[in-house]
A and B are shown apart, each in its own frame.
Chain A
Amino acid sequence: MTINSAIVIDIIKSIAKTLAENKEYLTELDSAIGDADHGINMDRGFNTVLTKLPSLEGKDIGTILKTVGMTLVSTVGGASGPLYGTAFMRAGQAVAGKNEIDEKDILTIFEAALQGIKERGKAVAGEKTMIDALEPALKSYRDAVDNNIGLAEALNRAVDAAKEGMEYTKNIIATKGRASYLGERSIGHQDPGATSSYLLLQAAARVVNSL
């Protein structure tokens, strides 16, 4: 199965819709251990992205992803702006000029995006961040691609792993960002960044499953 530019645009729309639906939920999670703006910030960012999509129709996938990244950087506001912004920009660079991508290209995108987040945030897994959802998701996706089980199923496995990783963030202490000021008091709360990462992957998988 291959994904063309039009499907990529559908995926971005699906992400924006999911984030809008979960705006209150994400902000509620963030009010427990952060500064209560994650849902509002992500929704504001992707709403601006939606306004740019008409001008991106017919463009290559690299350009689409890069534009999404640049838009997030200047509209999200919190740390997730530069983090998701870097992820999308690196993803765009990884498939620059391509009008169609397959599961191997998506693996490259995924790897570049996660690497970008790690470099930008100077973070690793186990610190109660989006990495705790994305790293296991990438591993599951890679294993699935290596076993040739098809794109939709590979993405579904990535979503399952991201969900598990997201839930695991309840059990650990935050050592990055505003939540780290809380120390042990951050235990018991699910990380908002890991949650939005899971929602993003889920929204993407939903589009691919409907093809």
Chain B
Amino acid sequence: MIGLVIVSHSRKLAEGLCELTNQLSQGKVKILPAGGMEDGSLGTDATRIMDAIQEADSGDGVLIIADLGSAILSSDMAIEMLDENKKSKIVIADAPFVEGGVAAAVEASLGSDLNKVKEAAEGAKELKKIFK
């Protein structure tokens, strides 16, 4: 099963999205937060992200849901620091943080492969929230 890593500048934001996505995927998916710095301040830390990726990976791959800016740069860097044979199965979704995270968690809970989970997350960009 595909694992998820939630990367945010804020520890609380990452943990909050984990809480939400865990409930929506009924606890079936490994979802790890990598938010903020080690000391709790705002920021992103490539080594913490790398640790979360390794914990979330059951061998099938990991999708990263990141907020913005340095969250993307640090995630890129975390992937680069992994073993060569693992790198190809770790990707970052170009997706909205909350909606993309939820869509990815639900898709992953159905046992879909990495491509499908990524597509689900990125498809959340088109999601309509209000119907009139």
Once A75-B37, A177-B69 are accepted as A-B contacts, the answer to whether A81 and B76 lie under 8 Å apart by CB is no
* Interface residue tally for chain A (C-beta within 8 Å): 19
Taking CB atoms, residues of chain B closer than 8 Å to A138 are none
Within 8 A of B (CB), among A80-102: 81-83, 85-86
Binding site for B on A (CB under 8 A): 37, 41, 70, 73-79, 81-83, 85-86, 120-121, 177-178
B43–A82 CB distance below 8 A: no
Q: Which of A74, A75, A79 contacts B70 (CB 8 A)?
A: A79
Interface bracket on B: 10 to 19
Interface presence of B110 (CB below 8 A): no
What is the bound-complex CA distance between A78 and B44, given in angstroms? 6
Interface contact tally, CB-CB below 8 A: 54
Q: Which residues of B contact A (CB under 8 A)?
A: 37-38, 41-48, 69-70, 73-74, 76-77
Q: How far is the CB of A191 from chain B (nearest CB, A)?
A: 15
Give the residue name and chain of the B residue nearest to A77 (CB).
B43
Which residues of B lie under 8 Å from residue A178 when comparing CB positions?
69
Minimum distance in angstroms from B15 CB to a CB of chain A: 18
Q: Is the CB of B77 within 8 A of A76?
A: no
Closest CB-CB distance, A189 to chain B, in whole Å? 18
A83: B residues at CB distance < 8 A: 73
A77 & B37 in contact (Cβ 8 Å cutoff): yes
Name the B residues within 8 Å of A78 (CB-CB). 43, 69-70
Contacting residues, chain A, for B47 (C-beta < 8 A): 70, 73-74
Most buried by A among B41, B43, B44, B48: B43
